[in-house]
Structure formats: C-alpha cells, structure tokens
Structure 1
Amino acid sequence: MVLSETNARIRSVDTVRGLIMVIMALDHVRDFFHVGAFTSNPLEPAATTPELFFTRWITHFCAPSFMLLSGISAFLAGQRRSTSETASFLIKRGLWLIVAEIVFMTFAFSFDPAYKTIYLAVLWALGTSMLLLGIAVRFFSARTILIIGLLIVFSHNLLDYVKVPQGSMADVLLGIFLTGAGRFIPLGNGAAVAFLYVILPWTGIMLSGYGLGQVYKPGMYAPARRRLLLTLGIFMLLLFLVLRYLNVYGDPVPWTHQTGWQRTLFSFLNVSKYPPSLLFTLLTLGPALVALALTEQLENGITRFFTVYGKVPFFYFMLHFYLIHLMTMVAVLSSGYTWEQATDDQLFFKFRPFDFGYGLGVVYLIWIFVVAVLYFPCKWFGAYRARTRKWWLSYL
C-alpha cells in the first residue's frame, strides 16, 4: 500500500524509530540478563563470539539514529509553530528530559532509593542536545544549524590528538562535553555522578538531523527526497569504508589484523560509541537514511508494528527499562540469591549480581517477551495521545 506524501513522511520517521527502539531493548536485556554482561566485553575481537559480537554491535544503530530522528522531528514540529515557540518548546523539553534522567532513569538503572550514583546516559545526551538545539533555533536558520552539526560530527575527533593532564579541569570538561568514554565524578561519602554519554558529539547528530528535516518540507518532490536520502546513506557507508580502511582519522581506536579474517572483521567494525566517533556515526546513520528512504511509501503489518513503538518513544523507553529491571529482580531472588547479596553496595545495579545471568538464547527469549508485553500499552497510549490535546502529552 502506498501512503500519501504527508502521512508517509511521518510514518517513515516513526517506523524507523520504532525499529531501533525494539533493537535497543535487546541491549538492555543483555545488560541485565546475560551471564557475561559485567565480566567481559562483547566487542573485544580476540575474545568474543560472532553471536555475542553482533548482538551488541547491532544495537549501536539505536542511539545515533534516535538522535538524528529527534532532530528531524523537531524540524517537522517547528513547521507548526513560530521560531520562538519552537525554541521555547525544545528548551523546556530538553530540561524535562534531563530531570527525567536524574529522577526516573537513575532509579530505573540502579533501583537504589538513596540515589548514591546519578547516571547521566541517553536521556541526558538527548536533553542537553535538545536544549542546545532550542538555543540554536533562536539565532540560526535550519541550513546554518545543519552546517554547525556537520562541523561537530566531522571535526570532534581532532581532539583525539589533544592530550591534557589527567584529572585537570580541562580533562574533566573535555570528558563531559567531547571526549569522555564514561566518567565518574566522585561527590564524597561514596556518592558520584556518572557521565555515561558526552554532550557535543551527540548534539552534532541532532543538529544535523534538524537541518536534514528540510527535505521534508511540503514543497519537496517526494521521489527526489527518497533518492537524496538513499544517496546520502550509501555515500556515508562508502565514506566509512574508505576512512576505516585508511586507519588514520575518524576513530580513536584503529582496527588491527587479528587471528583469522572473522576477528579482523570484528576489529574493523568495532568503532567507538563513547563518544560517538565520526566513523561510528557514518556506519550507523548511513543505514538509517537508507531505511528512511525505503520505508517512506510502505505500509504493511511489519511497518505498522514498529510504528506503534515509534510513536511513543519516551513512554516505551521508560516502561521497558523498569520492566526489565523488575524481571531481573524476580529472577535473581528466585535463583537463590539473598536480599543482602542482591542489594550489595558493591553492585553496579541493585538486583544484578556480577555472576548472575543466562546464555544468549534465554536473553533473546526475554527480549521478545519484553517487546511483546509492551505492544498493547504502547498502542493504547499512542491512540490516547492522538485523540487527546493536552499540553503535558507533548512532553511524553
């Protein structure tokens, strides 16, 4: 079935977003339920297995695609508002996402009512990026915002060559804003803030998405838009292959020859997410643009399924994290662990002992269960939000 141009534009964004959010749940289920999640690196070329490598690697597509689509969605929403209204909404929504990260997602991560560690992860990156986008919208055109975003994406890996004293203020600031691969800032008495996602590299992706949103203006010829998205996506993948092969710029960790072609391929594909390197961005967003082009005119059972989740991303994100952690708590306590063992202060997350877990087969079954259980709540909430015009729903 072929959709009208307007509905196809909206549905393609929601469809691709829903697809990546379903995949995202696999990584979070793996974190909580896989036996080696806290004791081994699934992307280590010399030690991993093909099944484990690609289970983790496929989820790399989620965060950058979500950032890009959030930028596109912000541009589309701005077509119904004035510039000042758009900027104000983005700033307020960005601040709300930061609050939600600190209050709701930190607890979802840790299940620690004392909030001993504050986790600043994907909602932190999304919120700060949205806040900065809101400021940019006040002062710059969409074309200029696109240029700024691309400059950040393509140039921030220059800082891989900049060395500052470890623990200095410059080191801390660079780690939070540009170069950090996960930084814990102690606050005393055992408390800490964990900056798991840096700010500006993710902001560059969102700004680029906002600028790319111009291709969805009503005056844009639909076949030309699809060709452009497809061409850009393929170009990004080709550019990734060239830059990765040259092994000179674009990622702080060069690929190396391993024992056997398979492990060499793992090394070649193992680009840096923390922070998202240029090569990581090219590799993950190239397919995202191809998917946007190919799904724009599609409506079938598969696209409708993913669209259910893509229409309510915040609602789904919150629910799936709490559901996964609650299921982990039940599984751990029913497996013979005592309450004291399950809530030990040394644990990264409460109710997730380091030696707990199952094989990948069980992880996949739990992932399918989580996604299936959340289908009807997400469908209900999407329908409710579509028929109810309340201001607070725009923040969910």
Structure 2
Amino acid sequence: MTSFTVQPKQRVASIDILRGIIMVIMALDHTRDFFMPQQFDPTDLTKASTGLFLTRFITHFCAPIFVFLAGTGAYLSFSRGKTKSEAARFLVTRGLWLIVLELTIVTIGWSLRLDFNLVFVQVMWALGISMIVLAALIYLPVKAIAAFGLAMILGHNAFDGVEFSHVNTTADTLWRFLHVPGIVNIGDNLNVYVLYPLIPWIGVMALGYSFGVLFTKAPFARQKILIRIGGLAILLFIIIRSLNLYGDPQPWSKQEVWYRTVLSFINVQKYPPSLDYLLITLGVANLALAGLENSKTRIAKILIVFGQVPLFYYILHLYVLKLMSVIAYIIFKPAEAPGLPYTYLAWAIGIIVLYFPCRWYRNYKMTHKQWWLSYL
C-alpha cells in the first residue's frame, strides 16, 4: 500500500500563526453581523463608508486562506506515515462531519434555531465537500493535484455567464450548488441557500494540499519560494484587474476621489470567489507565511493557540458573539444599530473571552489521544 514518506517532526509555526490571524479577523466580520446588521452590502461603494468597506474587505482573506491551509494541513498530517487509504478515509469522515456540523450546531449558532424549510450552506459545507473530493485526489501525483487546483481557480470565471433556461431542473440545481450562489428549491418544503458554491473552493483546497510539499523543505528555501509565488500572484492580480476583461464579474471604475478608486479596484467578488479575489488573498497568504517563518513574539504565541484549534474556535465564537449581542441589546436597548467603534470594542472583548477556553482545549489536545480529538 502506498504511503506518504515525508515526516515533519513538528507543526509548522507559521501555518498556525497565520491560521490564528485569520480566525481573529473572521471574528471581526461576524461581530459586525451580530452587532450592526446592515441593510446593504458593505462592499457597495454607493452606500458604504470607507471604514465599513475596509472592515469587510480585510475579512475577505479569511475563507480562502482557511480553506487553503486546510489542504496544506491535510498534506502535512498525512505525511507522517499513514497510507493513502487511511488518509482518504479520514478525509471522507471528517468532511461528512463538517457538513453535519454546518447543518446543525453552526446553523443554531447563527440564529439560535433550526429552520427545516430554509437551510444555509456556508464555509463548513464547502470545506466538507472539498475534503471528500480531496480524498479521491490524493491518489494522484502532487503535480497533478496542483494542476487541477490551478485549472479550477484560473478558469472558472469563463463559465460566469452559463445559465439554464429552465430553473429547478437537475442541471440547473447542480450548477447552482457548483457555481451560482442563491436559493435552490428542493421539493415543496426544502429550500437551500447556497452561499458557498463549490467551485472553485475545491480547487483552493487541492492547491493548498499541493503546497504542503513546500513545508517539507528547509525554512530558508521555502521562504524564497513563498515570496516569489506571493509576489507573482499579486502582480497577476494587478495586471488582470487593470484590464477589466476577465477575472471578476464586476469591473472596477473611477470614483470621486482617488482612494475610493482604489477601493473599487480591490472590490472583488467572494460568492463565488473570483480569480482576482483568490490572487490577492492567496498572494498575501504566501507572503505572510514567508514573513511569519521565524516569528516568536508574545502575540504570535497567542495566535498559535487559536490556529491550533480552528474548528473548536469557529463553533465557540458564534455562540460567544451571539450571546454578547443579546446581552448588549438587553442592557443598552439601542435605538439604532451600533457604529463601527462599538463593533470593534465588542470584537476585542470577544477575542479575549475566546482565548481562555481555546487555550484550555489546545492544552487538552496536546496531552490526550482520544480518537475524536482529530475531529474537533
């Protein structure tokens, strides 16, 4: 039976730190959702302030980096002597578990109720399906997996205009799950709101998996490669975005002042993630991984705690922020939604609250070996 041969001796700190950073930033976006619900898209430059836009934009980095690093983490985890059949089995079972969590615990965390008539599928669903697909892909050579991921990322915007003349047909329903966000009607009593269509998220995880090879190299060697890849991705973003021909369904345009024009330029589509969106976010991710290689600061040690228990953090942060928003509403009874400063304050308090249970659980995982720990 074929097995992985590379055996890293310990976790790669830069991956855990970067994952911790994006988990903290993700909480900012969800704090905004809970504390200052908007009646409009915060990236709509005709309505959003610069501060609100940037608050939303910075959180764009979370989902693609999280999915990408999930693939990288899978490669490193499975390179410690497991056979590919063992690795594939784990990917399938963990993927199914993430889908179950999305439809139950995560859904309740958002709304404190389950609505069996309207089901939302978001990032956990995309992660779960991507892991199941990756379970099949790992039998291919790493270069073939990388080519698959790149092809999906680079080419999927060519299909943006694909539509089916008859809705709710099998082809139309499948295409909506794959590439078109929105509500899918399944029967008379079930509607599924697909916020995270699967393409190109599957490709992002596949590419992240192939990048795991870099983290079996010496730190200095991988730093140079990561800098080159990150720099090239950002350069491609600037070139492709400048042309306004391909890479994002929404072209940028000149605004009333120069800095709003910059905002228009970086205002790229997340649902589904466009090529431009992935170039800028994953480009920055590669540069960050290179820059965090030797980080040993106190802040880095705190971020590692979050980065080593991402699923535990994700589930817990929804309930903590939801509870905080309910308490704040009961105490202050605001006549209108709080502004950004209050949202940032609530976010900071939430991160402090989350740190202690996350540290406890991280320490528990390090000192215990129960099988279920690999699923949470």
Q: What TM-score range do you get, normalising by the shorter chain?
A: over 0.9
Q: Distance in 2 between matches of 1:298 and 1:114?
A: 44
Aligned-pair CA distance for 1:221: 3.1
Counterpart in 2 of 1:246? Answer: 243
Counterpart in 2 of 1:145? Answer: 145
Q: Is the 8 A contact 2:8 2:76 kept in 1?
A: no
Q: Is the 8 A contact 2:119 2:193 kept in 1?
A: yes
Aligned-pair CA distance for 1:9: 5.7
Letter in 1 for 2:118: T
Aligned-pair CA distance for 1:50: 1.2
Counterpart in 1 of 2:21? Answer: 19
Tell me, which stretches of 5 or more residues in structure 2 are unaligned?
Answer: 1-6
Q: Mapping of 1:148-167 within 5 angstroms?
A: 148-165=148-165, 167=167
Alignment identity in percent? 41
Q: Mapping of 1:110-259 within 5 angstroms?
A: 110-137=111-138, 139-165=139-165, 167-169=167-169, 170-178=171-179, 180-185=180-185, 187-189=187-189, 191-217=190-216, 220-259=217-256
Q: Distance in 1 between matches of 2:64 and 2:246?
A: 20
Counterpart in 2 of 1:278? Answer: 275
Q: Is the 8 A contact 2:22 2:61 kept in 1?
A: yes
Letter in 1 for 2:222: R
Aligned-pair CA distance for 1:8: 7.9
Q: Is the 8 A contact 2:219 2:293 kept in 1?
A: no
Residue 372 in structure 1 maps to residue 352 in structure 2: yes
Aligned-pair CA distance for 1:251: 0.7
Residue 389 in structure 1 maps to residue 369 in structure 2: yes
Counterpart in 1 of 2:34? Answer: 32
Deviations 1:16-63 (CA, angstroms, capped at 9, x unpaired): 0000000000000001111xx330221112222111110000000000
Letter in 2 for 1:231: R
Q: Distance in 2 between matches of 1:323 and 1:296?
A: 31
Q: Is the 8 A contact 2:176 2:184 kept in 1?
A: no
How many residues get paired? 368
Q: Is the 8 A contact 1:21 1:313 kept in 2?
A: yes
Q: Is the 8 A contact 1:197 1:274 kept in 2?
A: yes
Aligned with 1:374: secondary structure? Answer: helix
Candidates 275, 289, 296, aligned match of 2:293 = 296
Q: Distance in 2 between matches of 1:186 and 1:267?
A: 37
Aligned-pair CA distance for 1:166: 5.9
Residues 17-26 or 112-121, more deviating: 112-121
Counterpart in 2 of 1:78? Answer: 78
Q: Distance in 2 between matches of 1:168 and 1:156?
A: 22
Q: Distance in 2 between matches of 1:114 and 1:156?
A: 32
Counterpart in 1 of 2:109? Answer: 108
Aligned-pair CA distance for 1:331: 2.9
Residues 110-119 or 86-95, more deviating: 110-119
Q: Could you state the TM-score of these two structures normalised by the residue count of structure 1?
A: 0.89
Q: Could you state the TM-score of these two structures normalised by the residue count of structure 2?
A: 0.93
Aligned-pair CA distance for 1:162: 2.6
Q: Is the 8 A contact 1:187 1:193 kept in 2?
A: no
Aligned-pair CA distance for 1:300: 1.4
Letter in 1 for 2:12: I
Residue 312 in structure 1 maps to residue 309 in structure 2: yes
Deviations 1:176-217 (CA, angstroms, capped at 9, x unpaired): 112x2333536545x532211111211100000001111122
Tell me, which stretches of 5 or more residues in structure 1 are unaligned?
Answer: 338-354
Q: Is the 8 A contact 2:68 2:207 kept in 1?
A: yes
Aligned-pair CA distance for 1:362: 0.3
Aligned with 1:200: secondary structure? Answer: coil
Deviations 1:195-253 (CA, angstroms, capped at 9, x unpaired): 11111211100000001111122xx2321111000110011001000000001111111
Q: Is the 8 A contact 1:46 1:258 kept in 2?
A: no
Residue 46 in structure 1 maps to residue 50 in structure 2: no
Aligned-pair CA distance for 1:323: 1.1
Letter in 2 for 1:256: S
Q: Is the 8 A contact 1:143 1:211 kept in 2?
A: yes
Q: Is the 8 A contact 1:229 1:292 kept in 2?
A: yes
Q: Is the 8 A contact 1:9 1:296 kept in 2?
A: no
Letter in 1 for 2:279: L
Letter in 2 for 1:393: L
